[in-house]
A and B are shown apart, each in its own frame.
Chain A
């Protein structure tokens, strides 16, 4: 059983460029989460999917951010017109959850984005 994988691990881009990150969850996990973490802070929730449906989005997820999980497996997070304030670690997590039960999330290693 492989863990959650994220690619790329590091991304350096110039302000105004678009970037896309990929997350591959643990096989058969039905939920997939995206978080953002800035230096010295805990991870902050961005959005999550139940299978292919995006069920919740944080107000942190501005209209420049879009996430997809087209076949209920891997997910992509795209940031358009990047800003320096987007520099952060972007974390993906997955879980096998049912309504009313526990939702233990397992995290990937993260993608560190630096916007110059």
Chain B
């Protein structure tokens, strides 16, 4: 499983797009990129995953670079309830790092 690097924390204004970057330069060709988030004292929540193509669902969009060495999770209109720790995982086994603390501010 590839190691991932994420910023420790980010701030975002309510109603604006939140763009969370992740580097996974050692990802293998058959390894997926998964994003989860964890709101304080709750279990992690699945957001989205992808292999090569960009993906979108009702929660977010996932943009994966052509070389697959990095990706960006986009929350199109962040709300206060999106404040959480966001984990980027590259691999076919969930190995959680420290994640990015996203604070959405009014």
Q: A residues bordering B, Cβ < 8 Å?
A: 4, 33, 41-45, 91, 93, 102-110, 112
Rounded to whole Å, the gap between the CB of A43 and the closest CB of chain B is 5
- Contact among B32, B41, B42, B99 for A42, CB-based, below 8 A: B99
Q: Please tell me the number of chain B residues within 8 Å of chain A, measured between CB atoms.
A: 20
Q: Is B44 in contact with A91, judged by CB distance below 8 angstroms?
A: yes
Question: Which residues in B have their C-beta under 8 angstroms from that of A107?
Answer: 36, 43-46
- Contact among A44, A102, A110 for B96, CB-based, below 8 A: A44
Given A102-B32, A103-B92, A104-B49, A42:B43 Cβ within 8 A: no
Question: Which residues in A have their C-beta under 8 angstroms from that of B32?
Answer: 102
Question: Which residues in A have their C-beta under 8 angstroms from that of B45?
Answer: 107
Q: Is B98 in contact with A104, judged by CB distance below 8 angstroms?
A: no
Rounded to whole Å, the gap between the CB of B48 and the closest CB of chain A is 10
Q: Is A102 in contact with B49, judged by CB distance below 8 angstroms?
A: yes
| Cα distance A57–B95 in the bound complex, in angstroms | 14
Given contacts A42-B96, A107-B46, 13 further A-B contacts (CB under 8 A): A4-B43, A42-B98, A43-B44, A44-B96, A45-B94, A45-B95, A91-B43, A104-B34, A104-B49, A107-B36, A109-B43, A110-B42, A112-B41
A sample of 29 inter-chain contacts (CB < 8 A) reads: A4-B43, A33-B94, A41-B98, A42-B85, A42-B96, A42-B97, A42-B98, A43-B44, A43-B94, A44-B96, A45-B93, A45-B94, A91-B43, A93-B43, A93-B44, A93-B94, A102-B32, A102-B49, A102-B92, A104-B34, A104-B46, A104-B49, A107-B36, A107-B44, A107-B45, A107-B46, A109-B42, A109-B43, A110-B43
Rounded to whole Å, the gap between the CB of B73 and the closest CB of chain A is 15
Q: B residues bordering A, Cβ < 8 Å?
A: 32, 34, 36, 41-46, 49, 85, 87, 92-99
| Cα distance A4–B42 in the bound complex, in angstroms | 12
Question: Which residues in A have their C-beta under 8 angstroms from that of B96?
Answer: 42-44
